[in-house]
């Protein structure tokens, strides 16, 4: 099977493409193709290993298990900081121990607690600018972890693996320069599909228990911002998040074609007040990447 091709992040107004991505179905073929991509990218890039953080959640646990199953070298670290619960840390450590596959000659403790470093950074920043918030502190924690992951990647000739998926991409549910790495194998895969792929992978593993525990866990960012990711998104399930976006993008396509009725226009406005779509409309700058200015366009 040929490795999956690379692609750019869709434009926010490419509603048809978003709908195509939301229509992806789970399959054994997709699971194999993701593994093929990870294997081929490492080979073609000349890199030695992936580096990733293991939170105990479904995203990082699924990718760790997939790398382990395909015997692809990676360094995985459980990196608790202040607000991670003991249960989250235990799941992340269990995944690291069960599915570890470090490159030859690399050996490190899987558990690295950076609470003291984060507190030092936070305290230093507070002395300069006293105003902060749970979200700002969560960003500091995510970026503290990323400092370590990129340091390890540099030393060991690797690259940092992103663990975000489509629902997070649509809702801007990540920290810029904090939990986005160099390669994003599941960034365009719906979260509900990822759960199904993880269950398929469990059937292939000698020890599926660590991945199964992540599947069953309440999804949380571990940053102390809320009780769960779905609380922040304002939804009851990821299936609901995806249904909301399907309806919204379909209405936007009808609007573009001049076929939107008055009732549908009203419904579009209602959807834009819901948590997932509201976050989509406010987070376009994150999906677009750095803004580049064309110096050739000088007008005299």
CATH number of residue 46's parent domain: 3.40.50.620
Say what the pLDDT of residue 162 is. Answer: 95
- Per the domain annotation, does 276 fall within a domain? no
Say what the pLDDT of residue 225 is. Answer: 57
Domain count, the chain: 1
- Per the domain annotation, does 234 fall within a domain? no
Print the domain residue range for 93.
24-226
Q: Which pair of structure tokens corresponds to residue 274?
A: 């819901």
> Going residue by residue through the chain (300 aa), what tens digit of pLDDT does each one get?
566 889 999 999 999 999 999 999 999 999 999 999 999 999 999 999 999 999 999 999 999 999 999 999 999 999 999 888 999 999 999 999 999 988 887 778 999 999 999 999 999 999 999 889 999 999 999 999 999 999 999 999 999 999 999 999 999 998 999 888 999 999 999 999 999 999 999 999 999 999 999 999 987 665 555 566 777 788 889 999 999 999 999 999 999 999 999 999 999 999 999 999 999 999 999 998 888 988 887 876
One-character DSSP codes across 169-195? HHHT-S-TTTS--SB-TTTTS-HHHHH
- Per the domain annotation, does 61 fall within a domain? yes
Say what the pLDDT of residue 224 is. Answer: 57
Its pTM stands at: 0.93
Say what the pLDDT of residue 49 is. Answer: 97
β-sheet with 49-53: strand ranges across: 74-77, 49-53, 158-160
Residue 185 to residue 197: CA distance in whole angstroms: 13
Residue 80 to residue 151: CA distance in whole angstroms: 17
Say what the pLDDT of residue 235 is. Answer: 86
- Per the domain annotation, does 286 fall within a domain? no
78, 111 contact by CB (below 8 A)? yes
Beta strands 158-160; 74-77: pairing state: unpaired
- Per the domain annotation, does 76 fall within a domain? yes
- Per the domain annotation, does 111 fall within a domain? yes
Q: Which pair of structure tokens corresponds to residue 236?
A: 């009851």
- Per the domain annotation, does 300 fall within a domain? no
Say what the pLDDT of residue 230 is. Answer: 79
- Per the domain annotation, does 265 fall within a domain? no
């Amino acid at each position: 099977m040929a490795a999956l091709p690379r692609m750019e992040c869709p434009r926010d107004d490419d509603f048809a493409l978003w709908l195509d991505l939301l229509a992806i179905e789970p399959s054994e073929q997709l699971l194999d193709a993701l593994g093929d991509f990870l294997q081929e990218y490492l080979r073609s890039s000349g890199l030695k290993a992936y580096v990733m953080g293991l939170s105990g959640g479904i995203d990082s646990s699924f990718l760790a298990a997939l790398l382990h199953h395909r015997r692809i070298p990676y360094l995985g670290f459980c990196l608790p900081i202040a607000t991670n619960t003991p249960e989250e840390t235990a799941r992340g450590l269990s995944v690291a121990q069960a599915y570890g596959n470090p490159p030859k000659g690399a050996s490190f403790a899987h558990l690295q607690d950076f609470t003291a470093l984060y507190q030092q950074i936070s305290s230093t920043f507070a002395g300069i600018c006293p105003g902060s918030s749970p979200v700002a502190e969560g960003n500091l924690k995510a970026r503290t972890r990323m400092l370590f992951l990129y340091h390890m990647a540099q030393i060991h000739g690797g690259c940092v693996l992103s663990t975000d998926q489509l629902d997070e991409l649509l809702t801007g549910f990540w920290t810029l320069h904090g939990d986005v790495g160099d390669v994003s194998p599941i960034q365009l895969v719906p979260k509900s599909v990822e759960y199904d792929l993880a269950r398929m992978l469990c059937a292939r593993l000698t020890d599926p228990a660590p991945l199964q525990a992540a599947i069953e866990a309440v999804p949380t960012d571990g940053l102390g911002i809320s009780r769960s990711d779905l609380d922040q998104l304002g939804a009851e399930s990821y299936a609901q998040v995806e249904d909301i976006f399907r309806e919204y993008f379909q209405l936007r396509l009808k609007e573009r074609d001049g076929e939107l009725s008055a009732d549908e226009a009203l419904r579009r406005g209602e959807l834009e007040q819901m948590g997932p779509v509201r976050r989509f409309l406010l987070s376009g700058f994150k999906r677009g990447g750095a803004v580049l200015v064309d110096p050739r366009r000088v007008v005299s």
